[in-house]
Amino acid sequence: MITAQKVKELRDRTGVGMAKCKEALKGADGDIEVAIDNLRKAGMASAVKKEGRAANEGLIGFAQNDSHISLVEINSETDFVAKNDKFKDFLKTVAKEVLTSKPSDIESFLTTKFSKDAELTVDEYRASMIQLLGENIIIKRFELIEKKADHSYGTYAHMQGKIITFVELSKAGFDAAARDIAMHVAAEAPEYLNPEDVPQSIIDRENEIAKSQMKGKPENIIKKILTGKIQAYFDQVCLTKQKFVKDSKLSVEAFVASQSDGLKVSQFIRWQVGN
C-alpha cells in the first residue's frame, strides 16, 4: 500500500519531488528501497544521499512587483555553493515564483507547479538543483507582503544577501527613507518596533536583573533607577527608539517624523541566514 507517509519518507531520503516519489513507489509495489534504486537508475542518484545533510549556509533574496514583495531564504551546505551564480539564479527564480503563486506555506509551495516548466513542481525543481550543485539545497522560509498603495517600502541586502531587511512606512512617497531605515535595521538588529511591543515578561525580567544590582538602596531611588534602565533597554532593542545610524543626533522615530508630519514605521523585518 502506498501511503502519504511512504511518499514523504521517500522524498525525505531522496530529495526527489512528491509526484516522482509516488510514481517510483507505484513502480516498486510500495518498496522504498526498490523505489530508491529505480530513482537512481533514472538519473536522480546524486540527490539521494545529499538530502539529509545539514544545510546551514545560503542566501536570502527578495523580489517585488506592483502589488507584493517576497522574501525567501534558501540554504546550502557550504558558502562556496551559496556564492555560485547558479545558486543565486535559483534564489531569484524562487523569489519570483513566490510572487506568482502566492503560496500559504512552504509545504503547499513545494507542491506547486513550477511556472517555467509545468512538468515540474517547485520541489522537483529544487531537487534538480541538488543534482546540479552537488549539495543539499533547502527552501527554508518565505514571506509574502502585500503592498498598500498609500504606503512606502524599502528593502536592503547586507553582506551580499546574508542579511535582508524590509521596512514599511505609513505614507506613500517615502521609499528612499524606508530604504535608509532598512539599512539601519541591518546594522542595529532591533528586536521590537516600539516599546509597547516588548512583552511584559521581558520587562519584568529586566526589572528583576536591575533590582538585584541595587540591593540596599532606598525604594524611591530604586524606582527612579529602574525607570531609567528600562528606558535605556527600550533605546537599545526598539527600532523607533534607537539612534539613527545616518544621524546619531536623531532617534529613528525622530528621523521619520522629520520627513513628514504623521509619518510612522508600520513594520519591519530582519532576516539573517541561519536565524
Give per-residue pLDDT as tens, 11-22: 777 767 778 888
| Cα(143)–Cα(153) distance, integer angstroms | 15
Confidence of residue 212 (pLDDT cuts 50, 70, 90): confident
DSSP labels, 219-269: HHHHHHHHHHHHHHHHHHHBGGGSEETTEEEEEHHHHHHHHSTT--EEEEE
Give pLDDT, residue 45. 44
Query: What CATH architecture applies to the domain 4-48?
Result: Orthogonal Bundle (1.10)
Q: What is the pLDDT of residues 92-113, one digit of tens each?
A: 999 999 999 999 999 999 999 9
pTM of the predicted protein model:
0.78
Domain ranges of the chain: 4-48, 55-147
Look at residues 12, 82, 20 and name the one whose alpha carbon lies nearest to residue 52. 12
Give pLDDT, residue 43. 63
pLDDT above 60 (res 51): no
pLDDT above 50 (res 33): yes
Three-class DSSP category at 5: helix
Average pLDDT score over residue span 57-86:
96
Q: What is the pLDDT of residues 223-263, one digit of tens each?
A: 888 888 899 999 999 999 999 999 999 999 999 999 999 99
Name the residue type at position 184: H
Query: Residue 205 is placed in which grid cell?
Result: 525580567
Domains 4-48 and 55-147 share a fold: no
Of the two residues 31 and 175, the one the predictor is more confident about is 175
| Cα(263)–Cα(223) distance, integer angstroms | 34
Burial string for 82-106 (b: 16+ CB within 10 Å, else e) reads beeeebbebbebbbbbbbebebeee
Query: Residue 48 is placed in which grid cell?
Result: 539521494
Q: Is the dihedral of CA 112, 118, 124, 126 positive or negative?
A: negative
55-147 in CATH: which number? 3.30.479.20
